[in-house]
Amino acid sequence: MRVLLLLLALTSGCADASYFLTSSSNRPEATIDLEDYSLFPVEIVRVIDGDTIVVDINLGLSITLRDTLRLLDIDTWEVTGEFRDQGKMATIVVQGLISLGEEFHIKVPKKRERGKYGRVLARLYIDGVSLNELLKDSSMQKQ
């Protein structure tokens, strides 16, 4: 299964996906600049499409909030309409990358803006690696 996901990621332009195939003890320490952002642990509930994910956000003190996240700086094709095949492929790639992770965090701008559909704008980190950055220069994005 991991080989299939890696192949999928490589063919879709996510060459850094091989990162997830190394053991966590061999990975470099993740450094996240927190100056203008807040960091929250999350649990993934479901992937809606390549740039939209439902998460349970751990706010601390046993308080959890379920919300929909919009990946900052990412705009993938929708899963309906003329480019639905590209949208479905982006969704499968994101689901595959998430399935390889163990720890998930979101980095939310401190100004706490929401997108035009009310989604939380954030960066998603899988084991310390930004999913946003993995997808940013890939063929999963609209051109």
116 falls within a domain:
yes
53 falls within a domain:
yes
141 falls within a domain:
no
Rounded distance, CA 72 to CA 110, Å? 14
Q: Output the pTM of the full model.
A: 0.74
Number of domains in the chain: 1
Q: Is 7 helix (H, G, I), strand (E, B) or coil?
A: helix
Q: Give the length of the chain.
A: 143
Ranges assigned E (strand) in 50-114: 52-60, 63-71, 104-109
24 falls within a domain:
yes
4-55 pLDDT, tens per residue?
444 444 445 544 444 444 444 444 444 545 567 899 999 999 999 999 999 9
- Output the domain CATH number for residue 43: 2.40.50.90
142 falls within a domain:
no
Expressed as residue numbers, the domain containing 114 is 2-136
